[in-house]
Structure 1
């Protein structure tokens, strides 16, 4: 039965501590074959006046925004075509690659490219998986199925997809997309 103890400066919200507890539990499970109920996480909070580093008291750093929520919000804005709000979630130098394309750097390029492929598309999500990359980027995978309409208006559904995002400092820096839309489209034509 693994036990993880962590010492924190007081100041993190209950939701932030819950997220931390879940992530620590999941991290243990990557190495130790234990069910979540067998893993104990204990958080010890210190008053900022009881924490010194470099002869100075410290305050807690703000919690990192949930990368999965950032991606969900971005995808929701894209689906409703709130492109200005979606653009505000992208880092400078953002790059995205879709099947059969060279990397694109603007949402306008994506919309123009997609117009030749379908009228609209919606996503049904089966899950979001988050991990910390080896650098500063959090990696978010989302997976599920696509539904929508071809350029001629005929409907399609249940097309598999997986998207991989990189999130740094609360902004999306990269998106890679894989799906079976080309295979379904060729059978439609």
Structure 2
């Protein structure tokens, strides 16, 4: 039965500690063939004044102190992606833009590359009137300096002539860096659906 013990400077939220325990459990499971119910994670909290490094007291724990995978509001990478996709579906470009890194880059089927949301809206308006996404799953993978979020499901909506479509498969892959969306790659079967 694997046991992991972590010491934290007091000050982190319950939600962040829960997320940390889930991620540590996942890390153990990918390394050791263990039932998740057999993995125990202990979080030990210490006061900031009880800890020194380099002869100096450390600041109290905060929500995000390392690579910055979470968003500015401490959303998980998945929550950040969901907020972006919700804002885009409702065409709230201002809310969506607030979640993007300055060097945000999108790639769509056919190798179409864009950097601005207005470009995407103009490009999409020639392909369909509107589209809705039904999500089957979200998966997150943490890298050293960013997180990758992949979601997949089905698209439904209306073609430019008003006829409906549904059941079109899609996959979106996002890179979250320093609490912002840095990259999006979109894969779908819309071209096959309109044949």
Shorter chain as normaliser: what TM range? over 0.9
Q: Quick one: distance in 1 between partners of 2:150 and 2:3?
A: 28
Alignment of structure 1 residues 24-43 onto 2, 5 Å: 24-43=24-43
Give 1:96 deviation, angstroms.
0.2
Give 1:62 deviation, angstroms.
2.8
1:158 and 2:159 are equivalent in the alignment: no
User: Over residues 152-185 of structure 1, what are the superposed CA-to-partner deviations in whole Å (9 max), with x where a residue is unaligned?
Assistant: 1111111111111011111101000111111111
Residue 138 of structure 1 is aligned with which of 112, 136, 147? 147
**1:97 alignment partner, SS class:** strand
C-alpha RMSD of matched pairs (Å): 1.1
Q: Structure 2 length normalisation: TM-score? A: 0.91
User: Over residues 22-78 of structure 1, what are the superposed CA-to-partner deviations in whole Å (9 max), with x where a residue is unaligned?
Assistant: 010011111211221011111111111111111112122432331110000000000
**1:42 alignment partner, SS class:** strand
Structure 2: unaligned runs, 5 residues or longer: 65-69
Q: Structure 1 length normalisation: TM-score? A: 0.94
Moved over 6 A (4+): none
1:101 and 2:115 are equivalent in the alignment: no
Alignment of structure 1 residues 5-154 onto 2, 5 Å: 5-58=5-58, 59-63=60-64, 64=70, 65=74, 66-134=76-144, 136-154=145-163
Answer whether contact 2:158 2:165 (CA < 8 A) is retained: yes
Q: Quick one: distance in 2 between partners of 1:148 and 1:167?
A: 28
